[in-house]
Homo-oligomer: A and B are copies of this chain.
Amino acid sequence: MAERGRGWARAVRGLLLDVSGVLYDSGAGGGVAIAGSVEAVRRIKASGLKLQLCTNETQATRESFVRKLRALGFDISVAQVTAPAPAACHLLRERGLRPHLLVHHDLLPEFAEIDKTNPNCVVLGDAAENFTYANLNEAFRLLIGMEKPVLISLGKGRYYKETDGLKLDVGAYMKALEYACDIQAEVVGKPAKRFFESALAELGVPPEQAIMIGDDIVNDVGGAQRCGMRALQVRTGKYRPSDENHPEVKPDAYVNNLAEAVDIILQEL
């Protein structure tokens, strides 16, 4: 049940939505929409509120990600998706870095224009089945052989939920490589401040007029709050009851799901 003192729902002009665990549960065959979410997105758009998806999804290009969401019934365009791979490409170009990619096959087209010869960094995404023993050893050997190893991680999530259960996320593999090489990765994606700022710029709304809605207490809620946004945690996706006792992060409110969040926000408009 959401808190009924709803100061947090006032003066809102735009919403940033996490996707997996908020709009849908990912999994084989494209996953399944979370009950009420398709209609909730439709109501957000009809209300005149601005809407941007802010995802750490790195298992597909934005184009195919949006195709999947549209197939589930969500009326979303590619421009409405802020995702780590394009942000990483921007950073690689800025710093003249040539990546070795340990990412999902379906993400590779996002890096098509990037010079990958003679790598001087490793980019790690949620590689899923590509997280093999051989591929992890290869990324490790490249890093340990660099004079100053540069590891760029597309997110640092601990785990996520698919229709067939919880899966280790990119953050776990990032920690493995950090430990093996005695280095710190640079994180592109939530909860990096720069990433939320890009999403807000694309949303076209200042942080104090935006609400982030996510299922990840640290990466969605904590990250957004550090940028000056209000943030809600939904009780869907990877939400666990113990999140409500998190020692550091306290959402502005809990909601049972996206539909309930939208109900409350629209009532306050």
- Shortest C-beta distance, A99 to chain B (Å), equals 20
Contact with B along A116-142 (1 / 0, CB 8 A): 000000000000110111001100110
Please state if B168 and A175 are interface contacts (CB–CB under 8 Å).
Answer: no
- Main SS of chain A's interface residues? helix
- Shortest C-beta distance, A139 to chain B (Å), equals 9
- Shortest C-beta distance, A248 to chain B (Å), equals 12
Interface residue range, chain A: 20 to 34
Q: A158-B182, A172-B177 are in contact. Are A140 and B128 (CB under 8 A)?
A: no
Does A178 have its Cβ within 8 Å of any Cβ on chain B? yes
- Shortest C-beta distance, A169 to chain B (Å), equals 8
Closest to A140 in B: B168
Q: A179-B158, A179-B175 are in contact. Are A129 and B133 (CB under 8 A)?
A: yes
Sample (15) of A-B pairs whose CB atoms are under 8 Å apart = A128-B133, A133-B168, A137-B166, A137-B167, A140-B168, A140-B172, A144-B166, A158-B181, A168-B176, A171-B179, A171-B180, A172-B176, A173-B176, A175-B175, A176-B176
Sort A-B residue pairs by CB-CB distance and give the 8 closest, nearest first: A172-B176, A175-B179, A176-B176, A172-B180, A158-B180, A131-B133, A175-B175, A140-B168
User: Told that A133-B168, A141-B166 touch, could you supply 13 new A-B pairs with CB distance under 8 A?
Assistant: A136-B172, A137-B165, A137-B168, A140-B159, A140-B167, A158-B179, A158-B182, A159-B180, A171-B179, A172-B176, A172-B177, A172-B180, A175-B178
